[in-house]
Structure 1
Amino acid sequence: MKHIAALCFLLFCTSASSEVLESNLDCKPGAEGGLILSSAERVFVIKSPERDCQSAFTFKTYPGKTGAILIFAWPPSDEFGLNSQRYVYSVMPEKKEATHIGYIPAGADEIEDRVFKHVLQEGGSIYETRYRIESDKVSTLSPVKELIIADTLCIYPQRNSSKCEQMTGTFENLVCVMNYGERKVLADISACAGMIDQ
């Protein structure tokens, strides 16, 4: 059961680049509480794992491009849900030791090399968040797209506006905003195209 999520991803999700290669990893306990992850061609070591072998592990390489190899630890099947997180590890080329660098949602899709998109409904809005995975960190890209479907919020007509205005979004009258954290800025509805269908 623990490999269901990873197998589903590998079989049914298409990569952003035809060159990107993703494979499953076998997992076994290592020395001093660490993990040994292996495939037919590679062996990796995690010395201080946040996950154990109940998780499914996959690794991804980007042939012809510089940068680290990425290892993902998927949540066990009994933890899988809308808010489940995929642990992200980084391995520098020609090295074996993997370093934990952050998290992305388990349901995030890769839309270009090392950039992932996740769409989630929470409350009266649908959010589209993008993440960039670098060799040493996972960054959340700004702004986050927010499609208001059933809520009234204070929204700035423009990013440099001094005051926000109360605006109501409904299924019949959707409101699209760019969420910069400190303020939500009105955007053309076309910027949120397709979000309600995901």
Structure 2
Amino acid sequence: MNSFKSLMKDQQLLPIIQANSAEEGVQIAGAMRAGGIHLVEVVLRTEASIEALEAIKAAYPDMCVGAGTVISVDTLDKALAAGADFIVTPAISNSLLQALKACPVPVLPGVSNTGDILLASEYGFTELKLFPASLAGGAAFIKAMSSVFQQISFCPTGGVSADNRNDFLSLPNCFAVGGTWVAAKAWVEAGDWQAITDACAQANA
């Protein structure tokens, strides 16, 4: 099975889509695509999330569309049934990791401390999401982990912005950063899709 990192290819930004409708999700994804993005994460935080994921995949078959905020086996099953190309979780548990281990698509489990990292690595995961990155030690924490967990690489999300993304990306054990800043709520509400396109192009440059 492909690793999550291999799905990213040269993309160093994991852009997060939180959509209140399928139509809104397609608009956001289209704006991101115009900014050079080929992979997006749809967070399952609204009632329309699954429908949005399916709509984006239908509208843009060339895009890699995954599901985020997967916190239970039930949510995982729904995401996979909707055709998610990858799975991202904000946290882990033994039961969730057991299900993720059998997942047919790449997975990026969420961790926030050394115990989480050790647990995830025991299940065979070496690519992890640090969340919430700004509260879990940020770039300094990821840097410190390089000597202890030498096989682990990170994609931090939560508190990552245009101002600090390079603090993370300069680290050899950080392969990407995730964030919502490239699709600010105000832009989405105003239908300012060009602002999203510009932010994605700049963030992924």
User: For this structure pair, what is the TM-score category when the shorter chain's length is used for normalisation?
Assistant: under 0.3
Bigger fraction of residues in helix: 2
Give the TM-score of the pair, scaled to structure 2. 0.27
**Length-normalised TM-score, structure 1:** 0.27
Report 1 or 2 for greater relative contact order, CA contacts < 8 Å, sequence distance ≥ 6: 2
- Higher strand proportion: 1
